[in-house]
Protein backbone atom coordinates (compact mmCIF):
# COMPACT_ATOMS: atom_id res chain seq x y z
CA UNK A 1 0.00 0.00 0.00
CA UNK A 2 1.25 3.44 -0.81
CA UNK A 3 0.08 7.01 -1.15
CA UNK A 4 -0.56 8.98 -4.31
CA UNK A 5 -1.36 12.63 -3.80
CA UNK A 6 -3.26 13.92 -6.83
CA UNK A 7 -2.12 17.26 -8.24
CA UNK A 8 -4.45 17.85 -11.18
CA UNK A 9 -3.19 21.36 -11.86
CA UNK A 10 0.43 20.14 -12.07
CA UNK A 11 0.35 16.58 -13.44
CA UNK A 12 -3.22 16.39 -14.69
CA UNK A 13 -3.92 13.35 -12.52
CA UNK A 14 -6.94 13.07 -10.25
CA UNK A 15 -7.60 10.55 -7.53
CA UNK A 16 -9.93 8.72 -9.91
CA UNK A 17 -7.42 8.67 -12.78
CA UNK A 18 -4.62 7.44 -10.51
CA UNK A 19 -6.79 4.60 -9.23
CA UNK A 20 -7.92 3.77 -12.77
CA UNK A 21 -4.34 3.68 -14.07
CA UNK A 22 -3.15 1.43 -11.25
CA UNK A 23 -6.09 -0.97 -11.37
CA UNK A 24 -6.50 -1.22 -15.14
CA UNK A 25 -3.06 -0.68 -16.64
CA UNK A 26 -0.25 -1.09 -14.15
CA UNK A 27 -1.40 -3.81 -11.74
CA UNK A 28 -2.16 -6.33 -14.50
CA UNK A 29 1.32 -5.89 -15.97
CA UNK A 30 3.27 -6.27 -12.71
CA UNK A 31 1.27 -8.59 -10.44
CA UNK A 32 3.34 -11.71 -9.82
CA UNK A 33 6.68 -10.06 -10.57
CA UNK A 34 9.45 -9.87 -7.99
CA UNK A 35 9.16 -6.41 -6.37
CA UNK A 36 12.95 -6.35 -6.04
CA UNK A 37 13.34 -6.25 -9.82
CA UNK A 38 12.44 -2.57 -10.04
CA UNK A 39 14.23 -1.97 -13.36
CA UNK A 40 12.22 -4.73 -15.04
CA UNK A 41 9.01 -3.37 -13.52
CA UNK A 42 9.80 0.21 -14.59
CA UNK A 43 10.33 -0.96 -18.17
CA UNK A 44 6.78 -2.27 -18.08
CA UNK A 45 5.37 0.82 -16.36
CA UNK A 46 7.00 3.07 -18.93
CA UNK A 47 5.09 1.41 -21.75
CA UNK A 48 2.23 3.65 -20.59
CA UNK A 49 2.87 7.34 -21.14
CA UNK A 50 2.85 9.82 -18.22
CA UNK A 51 0.94 8.99 -14.99
CA UNK A 52 3.89 10.03 -12.75
CA UNK A 53 1.90 10.02 -9.52
CA UNK A 54 0.51 6.53 -10.09
CA UNK A 55 3.97 5.24 -11.04
CA UNK A 56 5.52 6.92 -8.01
CA UNK A 57 3.03 5.27 -5.67
CA UNK A 58 3.82 1.90 -7.22
CA UNK A 59 7.56 2.52 -6.88
CA UNK A 60 7.21 3.38 -3.19
CA UNK A 61 5.06 0.28 -2.61
CA UNK A 62 7.65 -1.93 -4.35
CA UNK A 63 10.47 -0.64 -2.16
CA UNK A 64 8.32 -1.04 0.94
CA UNK A 65 7.49 -4.64 -0.03
CA UNK A 66 11.18 -5.47 -0.40
CA UNK A 67 12.04 -3.90 2.96
CA UNK A 68 9.20 -5.78 4.67
CA UNK A 69 10.36 -9.06 3.10
CA UNK A 70 13.82 -8.40 4.52
CA UNK A 71 12.33 -7.58 7.92
CA UNK A 72 13.82 -4.10 8.05
CA UNK A 73 12.36 -0.59 7.93
CA UNK A 74 12.39 1.08 4.54
CA UNK A 75 14.58 3.94 5.78
CA UNK A 76 17.21 1.40 6.80
CA UNK A 77 17.11 -0.37 3.44
CA UNK A 78 17.58 2.97 1.69
CA UNK A 79 20.70 3.65 3.75
CA UNK A 80 19.55 6.22 6.27
CA UNK A 81 20.52 6.31 9.91
CA UNK A 82 18.27 5.43 12.85
CA UNK A 83 18.99 8.69 14.68
CA UNK A 84 16.72 11.70 14.46
CA UNK A 85 17.76 14.58 12.24
CA UNK A 86 19.40 17.33 14.28
CA UNK A 87 19.10 20.94 13.28
CA UNK A 88 21.11 23.90 14.46
CA UNK A 89 24.43 22.99 12.87
CA UNK A 90 25.54 20.47 15.47
Instruction: Tell which residue, 21, 10, 31, 78, has the closest CA to residue 55.
Output: 21
At 5-52, the pLDDT tens digits run 888 888 889 999 999 999 999 999 999 999 999 999 999 999 999 999
Contacts for 54 with CB less than 8 Å, ≥ 6 apart: 4, 13, 17, 18, 21, 22, 26
Residue 8, SS3? coil
Contacts for 70 with CB less than 8 Å, ≥ 6 apart: 77
Q: Determine the pLDDT at residue 82.
A: 62
Inter-axis angle of helices 38-45 and 52-70, to 10 degrees? 160
pTM over 0.95? The answer is: no
At 42-69, the pLDDT tens digits run 999 999 999 999 999 999 999 999 999 9
Amino acid sequence: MSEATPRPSIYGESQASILFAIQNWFAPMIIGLDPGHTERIWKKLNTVYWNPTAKGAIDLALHDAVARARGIPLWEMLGDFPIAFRSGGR
